[in-house]
Structure 1
């Protein structure tokens, strides 16, 4: 992605973020930690792009918006599959951002042949992370697919094993489903179909706005306040291209960027749950507490993408 395009996108994002709230409609500030899954590779690589460049674009946007920390969660097997992608991890570390574990092969706990197989996959991902995080606490895990185990015995077994190994869990409270657009974006970019890409972007950013509104409403209903949020994004070409607009919307919504531990230090993240780590935090808490979420702002389904740019 060319530098001048990145600069222009950042400038547009900054301009959007600078639009002030009116006195009649003040913005309620809230803390938000940014996390990024699937380093160093997420989805197909569009022609003319490379994974280190995507990482640099992502980092540039985060730094521009004052994000002090962004955990990048690694699927280490991708390095062997695409050796050139390894430089994306090094770029992440040079930026001062930490790396955590997303399992070696992005293996969901419920889909694993056994608990032992899943544990082995998590352990296999450790060396590539440890080598880049010397002297720092890197044992933070993001469950692939946010799947902490649908079977109680497997869930509890994994949680106990992770605790014994020194891990803590990176929870998620908000996601814009950026992953859903990734494959189609690569097809459309390769075909040069700017009309399709523009339609995708309009759909995605509409859903970003809707998700922010719903997040506020869910938090108020479940907790009676806006709790600190943990955002899940992915290190893919689509996500990097749209991140300036996403961050501008978060700025405008009142996000104040904090470290993951600061966000998860809130009591909302320490509430016990038989399904701890599974799915989105606030939805899980609502289910555990029997809180109904009827009547809250809705988020539209992702637009039909499969037929685009075929």
Structure 2
């Protein structure tokens, strides 16, 4: 290569590296609904899904990923508990997602919700073997809105030593779970490929929107907490999702590292309710109109019927 051409190539490379560095942002990875999210497709096991999941995370340098557990699924399918063993053997921690995935505002009472959360603790004590498992994510991101029930739950959790796993980033992977199982059962590969193409477009669009929203709400790119789910669709698509996260500049950190940022410590009367940045925008009166759009999930219920 001629010296002048070589110099141009080096300069272009340096510019690309600088642009990439400026796009970097921290992400803590979390997975809800362990050990089993949705319908288990024929020929699969929950342990196998978990092995695929953690294999992808390890391949992308994710040192910590909290798995949030609904222990009721073990009572419904005792074989599913093997997925928790896989998760722990991978070096990842487990936390509480309540026993039965009970939303706080939908619970018969605050006391009933507390009992449901408490019922999930025995499984965590067993699998965490003396490690701290006191992380909770509200099912449906339903922390009871604001008011007495919300505040009562937060006080109860604090007294039991819990910290809340907030959410700032997600791709609606849960919405595809049952359709994917139906399409696999029917052998409709074309429908599955169409779902994947739409989903990956939405991943890219959501990453662009998230960056723009963070700048709008905070004036900077804050660390993100990614919400995923322990299901067959999520495991099958996670390798491509992680590639796209990497390309967008994701750098993987622990949940505590992400939530040590001031954005996660800003008081809110609805703390834990809904997604962090949207909640902060509402609290602060920040207008989110005009941000980059994410295409709708679409009518997945109509597929593979």
Superposition TM-score, scaled by structure 2 size: 0.94
2:279 pairs, out of 281, 284, 307, with 284
- Residue 34 of structure 1 pairs with residue 29 of structure 2: yes
Q: Distance in 2 between matches of 1:21 and 1:120?
A: 57
C-alpha contact (below 8 Å) 1:203/1:303 kept by paired residues:
no
SS at match of 1:112: coil
1:170 pairs, out of 165, 181, 184, with 165
C-alpha contact (below 8 Å) 2:209/2:294 kept by paired residues:
yes
- Describe how 1:261-272 pairs up with structure 2 within 5 A: 261-272=256-267
How far did 1:132 drift? 1.1
C-alpha contact (below 8 Å) 2:28/2:65 kept by paired residues:
yes
- Residue 82 of structure 1 pairs with residue 109 of structure 2: no
How far did 1:26 drift? 1.7
Superposition TM-score, scaled by structure 1 size: 0.92
C-alpha contact (below 8 Å) 1:200/1:303 kept by paired residues:
no
Alignment deviations for residues 229-284 of structure 1 (CA, whole Å, 9 cap, x no partner): 00000000000000000000000000000000000000000000000000000000
- The Cα RMSD (Å) is 1.3
Q: Distance in 1 between matches of 2:216 and 2:57?
A: 30
1:65 pairs, out of 53, 60, 64, with 60
1:252 pairs, out of 247, 250, 261, with 247
SS at match of 2:16: coil
Q: Paired residue for 2:290?
A: 295
- Residue 189 of structure 1 pairs with residue 179 of structure 2: no
Q: Distance in 1 between matches of 2:238 and 2:180?
A: 14
Aligned residues: 291
Distance 1:106 1:45, change over 3 A: same
Choose 133-142 or 60-69, whichever is displaced more. Answer: 133-142
Q: Paired residue for 1:55?
A: 50
C-alpha contact (below 8 Å) 1:72/1:99 kept by paired residues:
yes
SS at match of 1:23: helix
SS at match of 2:112: helix
C-alpha contact (below 8 Å) 2:146/2:270 kept by paired residues:
no
- Residue 275 of structure 1 pairs with residue 262 of structure 2: no
C-alpha contact (below 8 Å) 2:146/2:269 kept by paired residues:
no
Q: Paired residue for 1:14?
A: none
Q: Which runs of 5+ in 2 are unaligned?
A: 1-12
Q: Paired residue for 1:140?
A: 135
SS at match of 1:26: helix
Q: Distance in 1 between matches of 2:83 and 2:199?
A: 25
How far did 1:23 drift? 3.0
How far did 1:135 drift? 2.2
C-alpha contact (below 8 Å) 1:56/1:91 kept by paired residues:
yes
2:103 pairs, out of 102, 108, 122, with 108
